[in-house]
Amino acid sequence: MTIVVPSSTQFVPDGTNLAQNIVWRSSVPIAATIRAFFASAQQAPGFPGVDFDLNINNAATGAIVFQRNSFWSETNVTYTQVVTAAFVPNFGLEGGGEPAGTHQGTVFGFQLEVILTDTAFGVTDRQVLTDVERKLDKKPHQLVTIHSGVNSNRRITLQPGVTAVGWFLVDIPVSARVTTGLPPYYFNLGFVTPVTPQGHTNSTRIKFQSQLLDLPPDTTAIELTMTTGLVLDLSEYFVPFG
């Protein structure tokens, strides 16, 4: 057994306005087993559709070869599929069902495994290990939304699937102390604190003109403590895999 996608939080796009989230792609031999697992799921606000799909597509044609229809209310789900034909599979997540474009959200604790029938280490195994290595190199952050003109202490509930936030300082109090090094380091501007279902995590200082913060898994919101006179634009990001 090889874990090709380690336990992670995955964004489930609506599949109509946003393409499916391809989390893995690789050649596998006939009779290999692909096994997916997720701990829980959450539909996005404003998307009333109750279900989503776990898809195994033909990478060459885009056609769906295998599919599991899943529901946001499900927990601790395991989906096992044996490869019965020679093709290069994509494993993707997307909103499913009708009306189209109304199904979007997040799955938590998602993991993908490949089980090969041949115990010898061969070309296919090397390819799988190469794919695992490539998974460590994530794609660039993709913008989800921007909060402009944030100027006071507040909590911001994040969009489903967000894995990082960034900010740009628009107005800086004239009293702020700053170093002359690179990048300029600002003191006493405030803090950003991630919030998870289990509680608050470590705060990060607001210290650079432009700053990016990767969030702990399962972060659902952030809380800002800001000094008077500070104004910033805050962006939400997610990082797709595959």
Are the C-beta atoms of 125 and 117 separated by less than 8 Å?
no
Helix (H) or strand (E) holding 22: strand 21-25
Say which range, 63-77, 83-97, 99-113, 206-220, has the weakest mean pLDDT: 83-97
The CATH number assigned to the domain holding 105 equals: 2.60.120
- Could you tell me if 52 and 73 lie in one domain? yes
Are the C-beta atoms of 215 and 163 separated by less than 8 Å?
yes
What pLDDT is stored for residue 93 in this prediction?
A: 94
- Could you tell me if 128 and 10 lie in one domain? yes
- Could you tell me if 111 and 176 lie in one domain? no
Q: Is 65 exposed, middle or buried (0-12, 13-18, 19+ CB in 10 A)?
A: middle
Shortest CA distance to 140 belongs to which of 215, 210, 220, 237? 237
Q: Which amino acid type is present at position 178?
A: V
- Could you tell me if 88 and 161 lie in one domain? no
Shortest CA distance to 23 belongs to which of 118, 106, 126, 125? 106
- Name the pLDDT band for 121 (thresholds 50, 70, 90): low
Question: Average pLDDT in the 104-114 region?
Answer: 93
Whether the full predicted model's pTM is greater than 0.75, yes or no, is no
Indicate the DSSP class of residue 124: H
Indicate the DSSP class of residue 19: -
Domain end call among 77, 106, 135:
135
Percent of all residues in the chain with a pLDDT value above 70, rounded to a whole number? 89
Q: 240 preceded by cis ω (within 30°)? A: no
- Name the pLDDT band for 71 (thresholds 50, 70, 90): very high
Q: Which amino acid type is present at position 162?
A: V
Domain end call among 82, 100, 135:
135
- Could you tell me if 161 and 205 lie in one domain? yes
| In 56-149, alpha helices (H) | 123-135
Compute the mean pLDDT over every residue in the chain, rounded to the nearest whole number.
Answer: 87
Domain end call among 116, 135, 154:
135
Number of domains in the chain: 2
Interacting residues of 90 by C-beta distance below 8 A, sequence separation 6+: 22, 24, 25, 55, 56, 57, 58, 59, 242
- Could you tell me if 20 and 70 lie in one domain? yes
What pLDDT is stored for residue 115 in this prediction?
A: 87
Helix (H) or strand (E) holding 160: none
- Could you tell me if 127 and 146 lie in one domain? no
Q: Is the dihedral of CA 27, 31, 37, 42 positive or negative?
A: positive
- Could you tell me if 150 and 125 lie in one domain? no
What pLDDT is stored for residue 180 in this prediction?
A: 84
- Could you tell me if 89 and 194 lie in one domain? no
Residue 46 is encoded by which pair of tokens? 């404003």
Question: Average pLDDT in the 180-196 region?
Answer: 93
Q: Looking at the predicted structure, is the pLDDT value of residue 193 above 90?
A: yes
- Could you tell me if 7 and 113 lie in one domain? yes
- Between 64 and 27, name the one with better pLDDT: 64
Q: Looking at the predicted structure, is the pLDDT value of residue 119 above 60?
A: no
Interacting residues of 103 by C-beta distance below 8 A, sequence separation 6+: 12, 14, 15, 43, 47, 49, 50, 51, 52, 95, 96, 97
Domain of residue 30 covers 2-135
pLDDT 10s digits, 9-51: 999 999 888 889 999 988 888 888 999 999 999 999 999 999 9
Q: Looking at the predicted structure, is the pLDDT value of residue 179 above 80?
A: yes
